[in-house]
Amino acid sequence: MGKAYWRSLDELAETPEFRQLVAREFPHLAEEIFDPKTRRDFLKLIGASLGMLGMAACRWPKETILPFAGRPEGRIPGVPQQFATAMALFGNALGLLVTSYDGRPIKVEGNPLHPESQGGAHLWAQASVLELYDPDRSQVVVQRRAGQRVVSSWEAFRDEFRGQLGALSATGGEGFWVLADGTPSPTRWRLQAKLADLYPKARWVDWDPLVRWQERAGLRQATGVSVVPHLDMSRARVAVSFGDDLFLRHPQAVANARGYAQGRRDLQNPLRLFVAEPVPTITGAAADLRLAVKPDRLSALLAALAEALAKAGLQLPAPLPSTPALGEKERAFVAAVAQDLVSARSSAVVAVGAALPPACHALGFAINLALGAVGSTVSYMPLPEVPGSGSLPELREALESSAVKLLLVLGGNPALTAARELGGEGNLRRAKTLIRLGLYEDETSRLAHWHLPQAHFLEGWGDVRTLDGVYSVVQPLIAPLYGGKTAEELLSLALGQEQSAYELVRETFAALAGSKGAEQAFRKTLHDGLWSEKLAGPVAVQLAGTGWLGALGVQDETKLAAWVLPDSKVLDGRFANNPWLQELPEPITKLTWGNALLLGPSTAKALGVRHRELVRLSWEGGEATLPAFVLPGVAERTLGLVTGYGRQAAGRVGDGVGVALRGLDAEGGALVVATLQGTGREGEVVSTQDHQAIDKLGLEALGHRLGELVREVRARNPVLPPEDKAELRPPMPWKERPFTGEYQWGMVVDLAACIGCGACVVACQAENNIPVVGAKQVAKGRQMHWIRIDRWFSGPAEEPGFAFQPVMCQHCENAPCEQVCPVAATVHSEEGLNEMVYNRCVGTRYCSNNCPYKVRRFNYFNYFKNVSQVTKMAFNPEVTIRGRGVMEKCTFCVQRIEAGKIAARNAGKPLVDGAVVPACAQTCPTQAIAFGNLADPSSKVAKLQQDPRAYGILTELNTRPRVLYLAKITNPPEEA
């Protein structure tokens, strides 16, 4: 409480560019005049008068209704249906429920039955709908003859493909390589095995930069078998992460977040999270004790921890490498961690970052084993052993010795993500024939002789397996929009038997389930979204061999080190063409539409780099020029970088957004930076929270305010002072009129659970047809998101505390916006909703001025003017598309409320608690958002509003918000 949070470093120090900004009266004026776009608009002047006349439309246009010729049974026009399917990402599977409206998938949600999801979904699942309807997806078979792009056909391809295979089969598949994207699909494994039978000499390489290869390597070294870890965060009471982004860039991110929240809510013995990381992630932001550490010291730190645990009597492999002298903070961190781990034992877990070398993962395993965590908080699952597997280095060798006759690239984008491992994407050209199946005609396709359109997972049959062996069928919701085929279909083509994806999946399932009752089982699997039986269980693993120990220890520390991670929104670049994700503010920096070089304030000072300054940095085998972003919490002499930007062949949205870091491992890792110098020029940094630098004065104000905005309690005594409750409803000077509605809607946001991942923002955007405005508009401060997640820093700049606060329309019972709207376009409903009526709004924007929370968004332009026909299929028909000059804001997903109410009334039953869930609450991996009927005292939300942690923001204005917040819970170790 009362702790001063602040927003960005522009605030901490009155920077020179701030003064400039203030000095310059109207900076961007010149730019505006000479910007060609505005000039073009200017020409529309001629049409102005005509446009006015156009307003005079008297009658509705003649509309036709096209009913089915024969309506399928059970299909009711205009009534959405949900189908279960699954999405593969990070080498794991996430069960999903997809809403289909008149045959169009329009919304993705987590599948409550699926263990990896439990109803939650990450932002990539949410955004996958837009990917499906992306007009830039490849739509035709393309052949490249001598660099000439020729549009071809599946038939033509099939013939040529047959010919090639015929030639290969003679030599048993000599020189036949497959480079697949590592989707964990049993059907694919089955076909892979078949392929190995048919072409014994063929080689299969799986490559996905997001699949934790180093971890797998490390575990193989440590255990002798190939296994992957599977966490159960909900059982953990002490969790330690060494540079592992458990809650976002992790195969189990959703389940981890859920487990974390559960652990936090156990107030008897709340989970405590330790994170040591070079660059802030949302995982670090959630930590009770966070250590900003230089990348190349992570392994040393890990070793030091092992040493401390060994001293405490745990069975750890010897000899541990001599750990270098630890800094004072590092020592404190290790001590605190060691103590908690020893006391927690089997309910502790140590996670090691995907980007760390194998040895670290091996040691991490050893520690978990010694703690007895294996089998409790973490278990190890076997990886399917498929014959004919090869590795990237082997492929590179083959390519360089021109031994590759036929290279089949299934998905992925190796030209971008495997460039370094393949010795430069150019090497791919050395394949005699390169056939590429992909969603987009991207960098890899440009090197390929054949590009084939791939079917999106929402339009093609398939199956996936979670790390712990849960089998789901990938059920399509729509026929392929662009005649794409799935990887499995292509494989079956390679096997000479053109089976459809559906047949292939059925075969696999038949093989799994056996003949008896296969039909029922399959139907049930489709319905539930997962098969009742698991394909694999944990294996008992032992420490086999300690050869890896030598690889531990620290590298040269004198140099600047960069910590590279896949971007938290576009990942390795695969989502670069997804406008929802591009415009989503990055959780920590709030950056949209691009990447930047993150560095800590002291490092920046030392290097003489200003915030927003363009800097040129170079490393062995590459260089890049990108804007610097001074961010608190980045370790000393450490630079934060993300891959996935600066795409050249992503599509109209993603091309040229951000800066590419060529020749870096897409899966991330530590990188030694050779040189770095500022250019003195300003770079383009578009962030949603720091539209404008804040001076000292503003900072002091923050000091007053933010302790009240984001309140904190200790886990030991999670109670707010009573006066916080008292201020919720100040007396009214007049007689109050009660709400007469049957339901009284309210919301509670638990700041102890919110990890700031941003899934709610994308979910809201998908549910409510929220437009994407683009970098230029965001830079002006015109983003349209109905929820914004405010990010606050606290404490010293070098090791700040973090807090996230989702702010949506607070649906004030005494709403300031309503009094000032001249046309009564925003009024209050009897159910306590603050209604915004688009078709009545004239656009005076007075409501926004008078809204203390500034949660209203205005359509400054017609942001739907250039939406392609296919993208329109993603719209939710239950929500009006807002035109220009109209105000909009969070509606508590009123379309869901109305649907729920009508359904309940028609069924003659009262609406049960939890029957109506807004998109944000539905998708939230940590269930931080509760929504429901306050009039029903037994409802979850009503109970939570009485929670001793509940408080409202700006309640002193007597706005009486219907949204309350639960104070953030901190649980630092005693010493710290």
Partner 1 sequence: MSLPAHLDPTLDDPTTRPPLVLGQPSFADITEQVSAIAERPKPPLWWTVSFAISLFFAVVLLAMLGYLFVTGLGVWGLNMPVAWGFAIVNFVFWVGIGHAGTLISAILFLFRQKWRTAINRFAEGMTIFAVICAGLFPAIHTGRPWFDYWLFPYPNQMQMWPNFRSPLMWDVFAVSTYFTVSLLFWYVGMIPDLATLRDRAKSKARQIVYGVLALGWRGSARHWHRYERVYLLLAALATPLVLSVHSVVSFDFAVSQLPGWHATIFPPYFVAGAIFSGFAMVLTLLIPIRKAFGLENIVTVRHLDNMAKILLATGLMVAYAYGIEFFTAWYSGNHYEAFTFYNRALGPYAWAYWIMVFCNVVVPQVLWFRKARTTPWILMVTSILVNVGMWFERFVITVTSLSRDFLPSSWGYYKPTWVDLLTLAGSFGLFLTLFLLFIRFLPMIAMAEVKSVMPQAGLERGPHRGHGQYWGEIPHQHEAILGGNNGEPH
Partner 2 sequence: MTEPVARRWVFPPWTNKLRQLLGALLVLGPVYLVVLVGTGASPKTTDVGYAPEQPVPYSHALHVGQLGLDCRYCHNTVEVAAKAAIPSTQTCMNCHARIRATSPKLLAVRESYATGMPVPWVRVHDLPDYVYFNHAAHVRRGVGCVSCHGRVDTMEVVQQVAPLSMGWCLDCHRQPERHLRPPELVTSMDWVAPEDPVAYGRRLREQRGIRPSTDCWTCHR
* Separation between Cα atoms, residue 894 and residue 106, nearest integer Å: 17
Contact range with partner 2 by CB under 8 A, out of 72-80, 145-153, 797-805, 927-935: 72-80
Helices 154-170, 487-494: axis angle to 10 degrees equals 50
The candidate with the shortest Cα–Cα distance to 549, out of 860, 306, 372, is 306
Q: Tell me which of 37, 906, 938, 974 binds partner 2, using CB under 8 A.
A: 906
The candidate with the shortest Cα–Cα distance to 131, out of 643, 755, 569, is 569
CB 709 → partner 1: shortest distance, Å?
A: 7
* Separation between Cα atoms, residue 807 and residue 809, nearest integer Å: 7
Q: Contact between 846 and partner 1 (CB under 8 A)?
A: yes
Q: Contact between 936 and partner 2 (CB under 8 A)?
A: no
Q: Which does 662 bind (CB under 5 to 8 A by kind): partner 2, partner 1, none?
A: none
Contact range with partner 2 by CB under 8 A, out of 132-140, 483-491, 786-794, 901-909: 901-909
Signed CA dihedral, 947, 950, 956, 961: sign only: negative
Q: Which does 59 bind (CB under 5 to 8 A by kind): partner 1, partner 2, none?
A: partner 2
CB-based contacts of 770, cutoff 8 Å, min separation 6: 764, 784, 785, 786, 888
What residues between 887 and 906 interact with partner 1 by CB under 8 A? Answer: none
Task: Name residue 219's amino acid.
Answer: L
Q: Contact between 60 and partner 2 (CB under 8 A)?
A: yes
Question: CA 556, 559, 561 angle in degrees (round to 5)?
Answer: 95
**Cβ closer to partner 1: 203 or 590?**
590
* Separation between Cα atoms, residue 128 and residue 151, nearest integer Å: 27
**Cβ closer to partner 2: 565 or 833?**
833
**Cβ closer to partner 1: 333 or 853?**
853
Q: Which does 22 bind (CB under 5 to 8 A by kind): partner 2, partner 1, none?
A: partner 1
Q: Contact between 78 and partner 1 (CB under 8 A)?
A: no
Helices 298-311, 358-371: axis angle to 10 degrees equals 20
Per the structure block, which two tokens stand in for 824? 């009564």
Q: Cβ distance 455 to 502 under 8 Å?
A: no
Other CB atoms closer than 10 Å to residue 947's CB: what's the count? 16
What's the half-sphere exposure (Cβ side, CA atoms, 13 Å) at 692? Answer: 10
Q: Contact between 830 and partner 2 (CB under 8 A)?
A: yes
Q: Contact between 73 and partner 2 (CB under 8 A)?
A: no
Phi, psi of 883 (to 5 degrees): -85, -175
**Cβ closer to partner 2: 44 or 62?**
62
Contact range with partner 1 by CB under 8 A, out of 39-47, 186-194, 364-372, 530-538: 39-47
Q: Which does 732 bind (CB under 5 to 8 A by kind): partner 2, partner 1, none?
A: none
Q: Which does 829 bind (CB under 5 to 8 A by kind): partner 2, partner 1, none?
A: partner 2
Q: Contact between 57 and partner 2 (CB under 8 A)?
A: no
Q: Tell me which of 568, 582, 891, 955 binds partner 2, using CB under 8 A.
A: 891
Q: Contact between 835 and partner 2 (CB under 8 A)?
A: yes
Q: How far does Cα 451 stand from its chain's mean position?
A: 28
Binding residue count for partner 1, defined by CB under 8 A: 76
* Separation between Cα atoms, residue 181 and residue 204, nearest integer Å: 11
DSSP 8-class letter at 295: G
Q: Contact between 751 and partner 1 (CB under 8 A)?
A: no
Contact range with partner 1 by CB under 8 A, out of 116-124, 593-601, 687-695, 933-941: 687-695
CB 783 → partner 1: shortest distance, Å?
A: 8
**Cβ closer to partner 1: 299 or 859?**
859
What residues between 868 and 887 interact with partner 1 by CB under 8 A? Answer: 884-885
Q: How far does Cα 619 stand from its chain's mean position?
A: 28
Q: Tell me which of 267, 726, 823, 902 binds partner 1, using CB under 8 A.
A: 823
* Separation between Cα atoms, residue 750 and residue 748, nearest integer Å: 6
Q: Which does 40 bind (CB under 5 to 8 A by kind): partner 1, partner 2, none?
A: none
CB 827 → partner 1: shortest distance, Å?
A: 8
Q: Which does 389 bind (CB under 5 to 8 A by kind): partner 1, partner 2, none?
A: none
Q: Cβ distance 609 to 678 under 8 Å?
A: yes
What residues between 734 and 763 interact with partner 2 by CB under 8 A? Answer: 741-742
Q: Tell me which of 87, 304, 706, 759 binds partner 1, using CB under 8 A.
A: 706
First vs last C-alpha separation in the chain: 18
Q: Cβ distance 569 to 511 under 8 Å?
A: no
The candidate with the shortest Cα–Cα distance to 285, out of 294, 297, 293, 277, is 277
* Separation between Cα atoms, residue 126 and residue 96, nearest integer Å: 10
**Cβ closer to partner 1: 300 or 693?**
693
Q: Which does 197 bind (CB under 5 to 8 A by kind): partner 2, partner 1, none?
A: none
At residue 376, the 3 state secondary structure works out as coil
Beta strands 613-619; 471-474: pairing state: unpaired
Cα separations in angstroms, 234 against 8, 116, 238, 738, 797 = 33, 12, 10, 42, 32
CB 100 → partner 2: shortest distance, Å?
A: 15
Q: Which does 38 bind (CB under 5 to 8 A by kind): partner 1, partner 2, none?
A: partner 1
In DSSP terms, which residues pair with 968 in a beta bridge? Answer: 712
**Site track for partner 1 across 478-517, x = CB under 8 A:** ----------------------------------------
Burial of 142 (0-12, 13-18, 19+ CB in 10 A): buried
Q: Tell me which of 25, 31, 63, 556 binds partner 2, using CB under 8 A.
A: 63
Q: Cβ distance 521 to 515 under 8 Å?
A: no
Q: Tell me which of 1, 16, 41, 520 binds partner 1, using CB under 8 A.
A: 41
Phi, psi of 710 (to 5 degrees): -110, 100
DSSP characters over 187-224: HHHHHHHHHHHH-TT-EEEE--TTS-HHHHHHHHHHHS
Q: Which does 846 bind (CB under 5 to 8 A by kind): partner 2, partner 1, none?
A: partner 1
Q: Contact between 69 and partner 1 (CB under 8 A)?
A: no
* Separation between Cα atoms, residue 596 and residue 659, nearest integer Å: 8
The candidate with the shortest Cα–Cα distance to 164, out of 152, 177, 179, 151, is 177
CB 898 → partner 2: shortest distance, Å?
A: 7
Contact range with partner 2 by CB under 8 A, out of 17-25, 76-84, 149-157, 181-189: 76-84
Q: Contact between 39 and partner 1 (CB under 8 A)?
A: no
**Cβ closer to partner 1: 46 or 907?**
46
DSSP 8-class letter at 468: T
Contact range with partner 1 by CB under 8 A, out of 29-37, 59-67, 639-647, 963-971: 29-37
Beta-strand (E) ranges in 779-825? 788-794, 801-807
**Cβ closer to partner 1: 29 or 544?**
29
**Cβ closer to partner 2: 519 or 830?**
830
Per the structure block, which two tokens stand in for 34? 């000479």
Q: Contact between 833 and partner 2 (CB under 8 A)?
A: yes
Contact range with partner 1 by CB under 8 A, out of 132-140, 188-196, 529-537, 698-706: 698-706
Other CB atoms closer than 10 Å to residue 950's CB: what's the count? 20
Q: Contact between 13 and partner 1 (CB under 8 A)?
A: no
Contact range with partner 2 by CB under 8 A, out of 307-315, 397-405, 832-840, 924-932: 832-840
- As a dihedral over the C-alpha atoms of residue 174, residue 175, residue 176, residue 180, rounded to 10 degrees, the angle is 140
**Site track for partner 1 across 927-966, x = CB under 8 A:** --------------------------xx--x---------
Chain residues in the site for partner 2 (CB under 8 A):
58-60, 62-71, 76-79, 741-742, 827, 829-831, 833, 835, 837-840, 878-880, 891, 894-895, 898, 902, 905-906
